[in-house]
């Protein structure tokens, strides 16, 4: 699947993770249009001009956590696909993230290939 042109926003309070994932996604051909340190920062920056196709958000962040971020995106920006991205591999967190509106959950402890597969799946037209 060709990732070129797919716009992505990254939300994570850890600069190491945010910058590392950004570099990997750019190598895969994704265009990073926004990076934010928490949900409030994301919503402050988000406009119709820089709106991503996909948002990858951490769940455990100060100020505005990932669950709140997902809910706000679903309400205000329903066209953005959301990947919940968490250090914990807690099934309860995964279920909660999906219930509030995430399209997928990827643990940061999984292989980076798992994130790549989820991103590719999100680019498939419906019904394929």
Confidence band, pLDDT 50/70/90 cuts, at residue 74: very high
What's the pTM value of the predicted model, to 2 decimals? 0.91
Mean pLDDT computed over 48-75: 94
Confidence band, pLDDT 50/70/90 cuts, at residue 87: confident
Listed residue (89, 50, 85, 48) closest to 66, CA to CA: 85
> Tokens 């995430």 label which residue?
102
Helix orientation angle between 112-122 and 15-27, rounded to the nearest 10 degrees: 60
Identify the three-state secondary structure at position 114. Answer: helix
């Amino acid at each position: 699947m060709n990732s070129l042109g797919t716009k992505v926003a990254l939300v994570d309070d850890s600069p190491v993770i945010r910058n590392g994932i950004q570099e990997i996604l750019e190598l895969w051909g994704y265009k990073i249009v926004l990076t934010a340190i928490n949900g409030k920062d994301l919503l402050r920056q988000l406009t119709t001009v820089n709106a991503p196709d996909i948002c990858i958000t951490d769940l455990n962040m100060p100020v505005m956590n990932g669950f709140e971020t997902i809910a706000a995106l679903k309400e205000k920006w329903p066209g953005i696909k959301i990947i919940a991205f968490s250090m914990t591999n807690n099934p309860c967190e995964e279920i909660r993230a999906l219930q509030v509106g995430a399209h997928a959950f990827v643990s940061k402890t999984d292989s980076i290939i798992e994130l790549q597969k989820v991103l590719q799946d999100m680019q498939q037209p419906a019904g394929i």
